[in-house]
Amino acid sequence: MSDKIGCGIHGAGRVSHQHLKAYINNPHCEVVAISSRTEASARRAAEECELPDATIYTDYEEFLADDRVQLVSICTPNHLHADEGVAAAQAGKHFVMEKPMAITLEGVTKLDAAVREAGVKTVVSFVLHWNPSLINTKRLIAAGAIGEVFYVETDYWHGVGPRLTSWKWVTTRAQGGSSYLFGGSHAVDAARWLTGLNIVEVAAYAGGWDERWEFPPTCVGIVKYDNGAIGKIGTSLDCVMPYQFNIDIMGDKGTIRDNKLWSRELLPEANGWTVTPAILPNSGDVRHHRFQDQIDHTVDCILNDVESDVNIADAVNTHEACLAFEMSIEQDGATVKLPLGN
C-alpha cells in the first residue's frame, strides 16, 4: 500500500489537466483514478498527463467507492458541484472543488452541512489566493500599511469571446448560474480574503449586450461589509477588451490600487505611488493560474490536519453574496441582507 495520498480527478475537461499536473508534481501525491462522463475524455486526460496506470471511471459512485482515492478534484460543470461535493464528503473524501461550489442557496447550504458533518478537508478553487501581487496586497493590509479599511472595490472583467462555443452550458442559468457565479465570484472572494471582511448587505443592477448569455453578462453591485466599510464589486463577461481584474482598497492611512501602494504609515515621504513588480491577475487562461500552489496547500492541510482559509465554510459568504446580487438584480436594485438563511 502506497504511503502517498491517492488522488482522483472527476471531470476530465480543460481545467482538470492543470489539477492532474499539480498532483503529479507533488511528492506526497499519487494519481490513482480519473472519472469522467465519457471514457474517451478520461483516457485522453490520462494519456496527455502520462498516467497509464490510472483507473478510468465513468460512474461517479464507483469512483468514490475506490478506497485508494483519498483526495478528489471536482472539475465538472457548475450545476453539478454541490451534489458531487456532498457525495464526496459522505464518502469521506477530501476534495478540491472548482468554483462556484454551488449555483443555488440550497446547494450552498447542503454542501456546507455535509462537509461539517464529515470533517473532510476542502478547498474551493479561488486560485487568486496564490497570485503574487495579491499575496503582497494581503500582507500589506495585514501589516497595517493602509490602516482601517473603509472602501473595497474589485472587478472581474472577462470578455469570453468566440471560444465560448466549446462549452455553451456556462451561458445558461440552469447550468452556468450567473455572471457573478461564473467568474465574478473571484472578485467577491478577493475582496473578502484581502481584507478579512465578510459581506452583510448588497444591492445590484445588470446590463450588457451579448445575447448568448441567458443571464445579464454585465453587473455591478454595491456592498456593505461587517466592519461598516462599503464598496463595489463588478463583473462583465461581454466587455470588449483584454482581461482585467481590478483591486482598489482604501484605508484611513493609505490606499492600494492593484500593485500600487500609497501609505502614510510606511512611506510618509513618498510623493507618488510605490509600485511593487509582481505577477498580476491579468489572464483568465487556466494555464496562467497557480494550481500547483493550490494543490500543495490542500495537501499540506491534509497532512497537518488544519483547515484552509478558502474552504467550503469560508466560501459560503462569497457564494451567498453572489446569489444576493442576483436577487437584488431581479428586484430592480433592492437591498438584500446576508446571511440569506436568516
Strand pairing category for 254-257 and 94-97: unpaired
- Domain assignment of residue 257, given as a range: 128-284+318-337
Q: Return the amino acid letter for 339.
A: P
d(CA 152, CA 185) in angstroms, rounded, equals 15
**Beta sheet of 218-225, edge-to-edge order:** 274-275, 260-263, 254-257, 244-251, 149-157, 230-236, 218-225, 199-207, 336-337
Q: How many domains does the chain have?
A: 2
Residue 67 resides in a domain: yes
Residues 107 and 190 grouped into a single domain? no
Residues 230 and 307 grouped into a single domain? no
Q: How many helical (H) and strand (E) elements, i.e. helices and strands, does the chain have?
A: 10, 15
Could you tell me the CATH number of the domain that includes residue 210?
3.30.360.10
Q: How confident is the model at residue 285, as a pLDDT?
A: 67
Residues 134 and 122 grouped into a single domain? no
Q: Are 299 and 149 in contact (CB under 8 A)?
A: no
Query: Which position has the grid cell 472577462?
Result: 158
Residue 342 resides in a domain: no
Q: Return the amino acid letter for 19.
A: H
Residues 34 and 117 grouped into a single domain? yes
Residue 107 resides in a domain: yes
Residues 137 and 198 grouped into a single domain? yes
Residues 257 and 267 grouped into a single domain? yes
Q: How confident is the model at residue 166, as a pLDDT?
A: 65
Query: Per-residue confidence of the chain (342 residues) as pLDDT tens digits?
Result: 568 999 999 999 888 999 999 999 999 999 999 999 999 999 999 999 999 999 999 999 999 999 999 999 999 999 999 999 999 999 999 999 999 999 999 999 999 999 999 999 999 999 999 999 999 999 999 999 999 999 999 999 999 876 666 678 889 999 999 999 999 999 999 999 999 999 999 999 999 999 999 999 999 999 999 999 999 999 999 999 999 999 999 999 999 999 999 999 999 999 999 999 999 998 876 566 899 999 999 999 999 999 999 999 999 999 999 999 999 999 999 999 999 976
Residues 118 and 44 grouped into a single domain? yes
Residues 93 and 151 grouped into a single domain? no
What value does the CA radius of gyration of the chain take, rounded to a whole number of Å? 20
Q: How confident is the model at residue 33, as a pLDDT?
A: 98
84 three-class SS: helix
Residues 120 and 132 grouped into a single domain? no
Q: Return the amino acid letter for 23.
A: Y
- For the record, the C-alpha cell of 324 comes out as 444576493
Could you tell me the CATH number of the domain that includes residue 83?
3.40.50.720
Residues 114 and 140 grouped into a single domain? no
331 three-class SS: coil
Residues 255 and 299 grouped into a single domain? no
Q: How confident is the model at residue 311, as a pLDDT?
A: 98
Q: Are 223 and 232 in contact (CB under 8 A)?
A: yes
Q: How confident is the model at residue 162, as a pLDDT?
A: 65
Q: Are 26 and 299 in contact (CB under 8 A)?
A: yes
Which residues, 6 or more positions from 251, have their beta carbon under 8 angstroms from its beta carbon?
141, 145, 146, 147, 148, 149, 150
Residues 122 and 195 grouped into a single domain? no
